Amino acid sequence: MYDKIKQYFQDNNLPKFRIKQFEDLIFKQFVSSFDDMTTFSKDLREQLNENFNLYSLSLIETEKTKDTIKFMFETEDGDHIESVLMINGKRRTACVSSQIFCAMGCKFCATGAKPFKRNLTGEEIVEQVLFISKYLKKMDERVSNVVYMGMGEPFMNYDNVVESIKIFNDRDKFDIGARHIVVSTCGIIPKIKEFMNLNLQVRLAISLHAANDELRSSLMPVNNQYPLKDLIEVCDEFTKKTNKKVSYEYVLIKGVNDSEKDAKELVQLLEGKLVHVNLIAYNPHEFADFEKPAKSTIINFKNILENNKIESSVRRSMGDEISGACGQLAGKK
């Protein structure tokens, strides 16, 4: 509702400093309701209450483990979306959703198993981080990083995602540095190009998961439209233009893409490039029949990359205890 309320202030000739106050109340104080806006007159609060809902999402549930907290929201039209807060050292990372389910149909992904519903609005994306910030404020902490790795494919909702990035980055709003924001995509090439030309300094992660077209297309239908060679080419361009490493995410699935041959193929694909590979053990869920590999397989895979000077890390699928890990949010009613 943020933009509409701002407009209302302007239409009613309220002084400019009221808008600044309003922004502070939302983006610094994280107020819950118009009634909490005690810097405003009672009359103004009443007017706002009558005309607007302050937020379009309502927080309906949080589920906490040691270092992850899953937030479940209800949209105004009654759908449910999820975000995850990950606590890691000093980092407080908000993993946000960009769509209600996803149309890309990747075979291993719980989000993709349900029929795509709709894009989230910019406001709905921003509000996920607002609610998480509000939660952290109680402990005198703030969101330090945002990753677009929740439900949905961010580059299929390009305009709203970019709108939200600008708000996260805005000094007067969340003030989260562009380098602390990561957009993860299954590889929508034209949008990667458009994004790169915005020069936002935001980081890019690519869901790769296979190093040859045949395997990748069988796991990720998007590869039929945007095959590997073209994808890697545009990522190289991204690195050249922004001076930033691209992260490649590689979910290791037992017996599917986790063999030594697969690792060597990945080496061939990425050799000599300024990249980082994030290895993630497949997180089993009810919508697919895959299994996660043994620890030794993961270590072996990583060693092959390291021996060939490809920087990599093994990412714990954060939040797997609460089935709230990034990329596996399927929503529940």
Tell me the closest approach of the beta carbon of residue 181 to ligand SF4, in angstroms: 17
Quote the strand ranges of the chain, DSSP E.
58-64, 68-74, 80-88, 91-95, 99-100, 118-119, 145-148, 181-185, 203-207, 246-252, 275-281, 312-315
Cβ-based nearer residue to ligand SF4, 69 or 106 = 106
Q: Could you tell me what percentage of the chain is helix, strand and coil, using 3-state DSSP and rounding each to the nearest 5?
A: 40, 20, 40
Sign of CA dihedral 178, 86, 148, 83: negative
Token pair of 107, please?
């075979």
Neighbouring C-beta atoms of residue 314, cutoff 10 Å: 15
**Cβ closer to ligand SF4: 100 or 136?**
100
- Closest to ligand SAH by CB, 83 vs 133, is 83
What is the rounded distance in angstroms from the CA atom of residue 253 to the CA atom of residue 226?
A: 22
Name the residue number minimizing CB distance to ligand SF4. Answer: 112
291 labelled catalytic: no
Residue 137 Cβ, how far from ligand SAH at the closest point, in Å?
27
Residue 82 among the catalytic residues: yes
Nearer to ligand SAH, 5 or 124 (CB): 124
For binding to ligand SF4 (CB under 6 A), which residues are involved? 102, 104-106, 109, 111-112, 152-153, 186, 207, 327
Closest approach, Cβ 325 to ligand SAH, in A, equals 6
Q: How far is the CB of 97 from ligand SAH (least distance, A)?
A: 8
213 in Cβ contact with 223 (< 8 Å)? yes
- Residue 239 CA to its chain's centroid (Å): 20
Partner that binds at residue 280, options ligand SAH, ligand SF4, none, CB closer than 5 to 8 Å by kind: ligand SAH
Catalytic residue among 95, 186, 235, 326: 326
251 binding partner (options ligand SF4, ligand SAH, none; Cβ < 5 to 8 Å by kind): ligand SAH
Q: Which residues bind ligand SAH (CB under 6 A)?
A: 108-109, 149, 153, 184-186, 207, 249, 251, 280, 282-283, 285, 317, 326-328
Nearer to ligand SF4, 37 or 102 (CB): 102
Tell me, what DSSP letter sits at residue 150?
Answer: S
Q: How far is the CB of 106 from ligand SF4 (least distance, A)?
A: 3
User: 3-state class of 276 per DSSP?
Assistant: strand
Catalytic residue among 63, 76, 82, 233: 82
Main-chain phi, psi angles of 105, to 5 degrees: 65, 30
Please list the active-site residues: 82, 326
